[in-house]
Chain A
Amino acid sequence: MPEGPKLALLKRRGFIYDFRRMIYYNPRVRKVFSAEAVEDHDLRWIYARLREPPRTSWTFYFNDPPSADVRGELIRYLSGVQ
């Protein structure tokens, strides 16, 4: 996965890559992209997700929506790495 415009965009918008979970996350806007979703979608799709207003809870942009258990585990994990 070489660095390209999609990764540069996420980096500019304050997203951090977590190599253990293979996710891009930004605690300020509480959004998480899976590496697979970033790889499988184009820039336009990422822009559209970035434009969505942040919610009070974390928003997950995955190819397959994660289950409640997985979301809970990732939220616990993200609160630990911040």
Chain B
Amino acid sequence: MKRTAEDVLREEYASLLPELRFLRHVMQVTANHSLLDVRETLGGHERIDVESRVKSCESAIDKVRRRTEGGTFDPSTRYSLTQLKDLVGVRVLVFPKQRAKDAIIRLKRAFPRWRADHLPALGVYKFHGKIRPGDPVGAEYQVVPALVGMFWAVEHDTFYKPDPALRGAEKHPRLQAARERLEKELVAFEDTFQEVVEGGPPRVL
């Protein structure tokens, strides 16, 4: 029986998995270590949380498939998971978002010369690179406002975990438009929170 592109990519994933787990561990430890001093200065309501993950096999295959026009593998083309920049990833959730700057300065030192790929409207800062020059796969770290990051986590669980058939539904134009509206509101909430906190109690004239 002829092997499909999915079969080949699943085999590749299995061979990469030990390395992916190792890289995840290195990234998690490095990020936590680099953020130690900032965390010591956090106020009671502030937070900087580090999460890490290895992209699941089916998500990785789906991402490669979605890069093809028509979302369909061509049997005559050779595909590889190593083209993905985020097989391993760290997400740093910050609240309030003004804390992102402190985190980015330290993470840039820990992961020097990684390529920036930001979403400035959401206050999301992404960086891609390789932990060691010879690594077969790339990795990504993100610094994300906590509210946006938590929404993404819920959204991911909603679309991916219960039913793989829903994978990609979040890219539906109507859902994407609704998502953009919600993300803007989450950012606006953080801005308002910051104004209220920094503004302090109203002055008595």
Task: List residues of chain A with CB under 8 Å of any chain B CB.
Answer: 1-3, 7, 17, 19-23, 32, 34, 36-37, 60, 62-64, 66-67, 69-70, 73-74, 77
Contact = CB atoms under 8 A, between A and B. Distances in A.
A43 to B, nearest CB: 16
Interface string B65-77: 0101111111110
B69 A2 contact: no
A10 B172 CA distance: 14
Contacts of B171: 1, 19, 22
Interface stretch (B18-26, B85-93, B174-182): B174-182
Interface of B: 66, 68-76, 165, 167-169, 171-174, 176-177, 180
Given A2-B180, A3-B177, A66 B69 contact: yes
A1 to B, nearest CB: 5
Given A67-B76, A69-B75, A21 B70 contact: yes
A22 to B, nearest CB: 5
